[in-house]
């Protein structure tokens, strides 16, 4: 049978862009459909604008710390409109850049939302397109629990477009999104309250990362309320009134309420049922949530329909931009490049751009002990970096190695502190290659630097 395209991609985010360009480089005829700005969550309303906000939030501390080095810095104020507008302009510039990359690769961009009509047909608007293979890469979306008054809250989608800087922002959610924005907004000068259901933030990360980030957040003046949920939100003359589940807690008054309680795969409206694509249950649970579904895939990113594939957050495996890109390229190499390969989801490094920053690769201490028992050895250090000595600031850096005592292999590396992401990226290469603690010990450190601590821990 003759098809319009060799590959039709639904969704021009990180995974879809990577797969479409790679497939086109092998000579495939490729089209990609997108109903929003090209670039996906990462470029439009995720890691790129968020990281720019992180950079902006660091300046007030830098101004204060400069005094310790003899600099006289005058009163500093933030032009919020300029800040937000500049970020939006950069987002749109990058989106246009991705469009030009598609054009250069020979990928046809079709504007609109793709919907499956059958295993080989996609409908976009009032037109139908056929393809030999279809890739679904539509990502995920933030979700709001169905609780009274939550329509007054915003999500991580809207926070990049606030017209005014919040005086007091209340954030619910203990994951990396809630934690990062709590730190961003506090750094920018807003009063911040973060509400969590559990005892600790950042479930799934090493406990030393969780504890040290939280200690830093407390030190920076973020108010944390634990073991609570927001039961109701009401509009009042002063702003928003938030009633908590703990009746001993006074209601909170804030002008902005950020809901950062999770993300769900974007499976609605895709017509998956028309093509026989199966779903699996996701992991979000708690008061006010409905069931979450993700596209089921095998290790080759193949769905239950043999010619349809899915990558990225819509599959709810590891929801990270580089993972979606890696999955997309592995799919294209295997299906169009005569290079059968699988993307490895093992030993994936990641970072939390909080204040203090953190990054990690490999097993947590708890995971290692569950797998290797008493053979696990822990090497850890905590210190005040040299930079903070003259300003007299009590900022701490924590570094940790998790080692298998039987083989001496480094199973995990964890860090909280300045430039953690940059440092762990290099450490991740060694951990991925199976380096031992002796390999770390034999490496000469760069002095004076914080990173040298990873090769001097005894």
E strand or H helix at 230: strand 230-236
pLDDT of residue 292: 83
Which ranges in the chain are annotated with CATH 3.30.390.30? 356-455
Which ranges in the chain are annotated with CATH 3.50.50.60? 5-141+264-336, 150-261
pLDDT at 291 over 70: no
- Tell me the pTM: 0.96
In the chain, % of residues over pLDDT 70? 98
- Contact predicate 436/246, CB 8 Å: no
Q: Identify the three-state secondary structure at position 10.
A: strand
What is the chain's mean pLDDT, rounded? 97
Query: 153 pLDDT band (50/70/90 cuts)?
Result: very high
| Widest distance between CA atoms in the chain | 75
Query: 1 pLDDT band (50/70/90 cuts)?
Result: confident
pLDDT of residue 206: 98
Q: Which long-range contacts (CB under 8 A, 24 or more apart) does 96-104 make?
A: 96/38, 98/12, 98/17, 98/38, 98/39, 98/43, 99/38, 101/17, 101/21, 102/12, 102/17, 102/20, 102/21, 102/32, 102/38
What are 213-249's pLDDT values in tens digits?
A: 999 999 999 999 999 999 999 999 999 999 999 999 9
What token pair was written down for 297? 């895939």
What are 339-357's pLDDT values in tens digits?
A: 999 999 999 999 999 999 9
Question: Mean of the pLDDT values across residues 369-395?
Answer: 98
Going by DSSP bridges, is the β-strand pair 239-244/252-254 parallel, antiparallel, or unpaired?
Answer: antiparallel
Question: Mean of the pLDDT values across residues 430-438?
Answer: 98
What token pair was written down for 5? 């395209």
What token pair was written down for 373? 């028992």
CATH class, domain 5-141+264-336, is: alpha beta
* Beta strands per DSSP E along 145-222: 168-172, 191-195
Going by DSSP bridges, is the β-strand pair 358-362/410-416 parallel, antiparallel, or unpaired?
Answer: antiparallel
Give the integer Cα–Cα distance in Å for 427 and 350: 12
pLDDT at 282 over 80: no
pLDDT of residue 287: 64
Question: Mean of the pLDDT values across residues 153-160?
Answer: 97
Rounded to a whole number of angstroms, the distance between the first and last alpha carbons of the chain is: 65
| Angle subtended by helix axes 207-219 and 365-372, to nearest 10 | 160
- Please say if 98 is a catalytic residue: no
Among 98, 152, 161, 447, the one annotated catalytic = 447
Give the integer Cα–Cα distance in Å for 375 and 408: 10
Give the integer Cα–Cα distance in Å for 331 and 7: 11
DSSP 8-state code for residue 122: E
- Contact predicate 305/119, CB 8 Å: yes
What are 198-212's pLDDT values in tens digits?
A: 999 999 999 999 999
What token pair was written down for 347? 């030993």
Give the integer Cα–Cα distance in Å for 388 and 450: 12
What are 16-52's pLDDT values in tens digits?
A: 999 999 999 999 999 999 999 999 999 999 999 999 9
Torsion of CA 333, 130, 296, 141, to 10 degrees: 100
Output the CA torsion sign for 209, 212, 218, 221: negative
pLDDT at 289 over 60: no
Give the integer Cα–Cα distance in Å for 103 and 115: 23
| Angle subtended by helix axes 176-187 and 207-219, to nearest 10 | 20
Give the integer Cα–Cα distance in Å for 85 and 65: 28
CATH T-level topology, domain 356-455: Enolase-like; domain 1 (3.30.390)
What pairs with residue 378 in β-bridges?
Answer: 402
Give the integer Cα–Cα distance in Å for 161 and 11: 23
pLDDT at 399 over 70: yes
Beta-carbon contacts of residue 209 (< 8 Å; ≥ 6 apart): 202, 352, 358, 360, 398, 414, 415, 416
CB atoms within 10 A of CB 309: 29
In the chain, % of residues over pLDDT 90? 97
Residue of 296, 297, 325 lying closest to 12 (CA atoms): 325
pLDDT of residue 111: 98
Alpha carbon distances (Å) from 361 to 56, 100, 414: 27, 34, 7
**Chain-centre distance of CA 70, in angstroms?**
38
CATH class, domain 150-261, is: alpha beta
Output the CA torsion sign for 431, 434, 437, 438: negative
pLDDT at 263 over 70: yes
């Amino acid at each position: 049978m003759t098809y319009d395209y060799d590959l039709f991609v639904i969704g021009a985010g990180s995974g879809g862009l990577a797969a479409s360009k790679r497939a086109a480089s092998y000579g495939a005829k490729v089209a990609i459909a997108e109903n929003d700005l090209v670039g996906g969550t990462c470029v439009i309303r995720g890691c790129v604008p968020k990281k720019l906000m992180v950079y902006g939030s660091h300046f007030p501390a830098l101004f204060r710390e400069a005094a310790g080095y003899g600099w006289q810095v005058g009163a500093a104020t933030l032009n919020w409109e300029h800040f937000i507008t500049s970020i939006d302009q950069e987002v749109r510039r990058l989106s246009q850049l991705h469009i030009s990359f598609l054009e250069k690769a020979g990928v046809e961009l079709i504007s609109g939302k793709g919907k499956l009509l059958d295993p080989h047909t996609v409908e976009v608007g009032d037109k139908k397109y056929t393809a030999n293979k279809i890739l679904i890469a539509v990502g995920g979306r933030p979700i709001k629990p169905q609780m009274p008054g939550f329509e007054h809250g915003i999500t991580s989608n809207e926070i990049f477009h606030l017209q005014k800087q919040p005086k007091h922002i209340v954030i619910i959610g203990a994951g990396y999104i809630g934690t990062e924005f709590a730190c961003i907004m506090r750094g920018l000068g807003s009063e911040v309250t973060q509400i969590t259901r559990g005892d600790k933030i950042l479930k799934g990360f090493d406990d030393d990362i969780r504890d040290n980030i939280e200690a830093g957040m407390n030190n920076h003046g973020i108010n944390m309320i634990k073991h609570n949920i927001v039961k109701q939100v009401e509009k009042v003359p002063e702003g928003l009134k938030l009633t908590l589940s703990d009746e001993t807690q006074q209601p909170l008054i804030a002008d902005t309420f950020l809901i950062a309680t999770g993300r769900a795969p974007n499976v609605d409206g895709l017509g998956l049922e028309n093509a026989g694509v199966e779903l699996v249950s996701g992991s979000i649970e708690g008061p006010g949530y409905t069931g979450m579904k993700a596209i089921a895939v095998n290790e080759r990113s193949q769905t239950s329909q043999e010619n349809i594939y899915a990558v990225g957050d819509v599959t709810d495996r590891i929801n990270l931009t580089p993972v979606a890109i890696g999955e997309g390229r592995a799919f294209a190499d295997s299906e169009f490049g005569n290079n059968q390969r699988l993307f490895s989801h093992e030993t994936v490094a990641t970072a939390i751009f909080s204040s203090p920053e953190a990054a990690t690769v490999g097993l947590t201490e708890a995971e290692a002990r569950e797998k290797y028992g008493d053979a696990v050895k822990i090497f850890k250090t905590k210190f005040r970096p040299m930079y903070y000595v003259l300003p007299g600031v009590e900022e701490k850096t924590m570094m940790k190695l998790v080692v298998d005592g039987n083989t001496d292999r480094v199973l995990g590396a964890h860090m909280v502190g300045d430039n953690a992401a940059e440092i762990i990226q290099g450490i991740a290469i060694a951990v991925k290659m199976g380096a031992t603690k002796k390999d770390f010990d034999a490496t000469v450190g760069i002095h004076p630097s914080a990173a040298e601590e990873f090769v001097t821990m005894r």
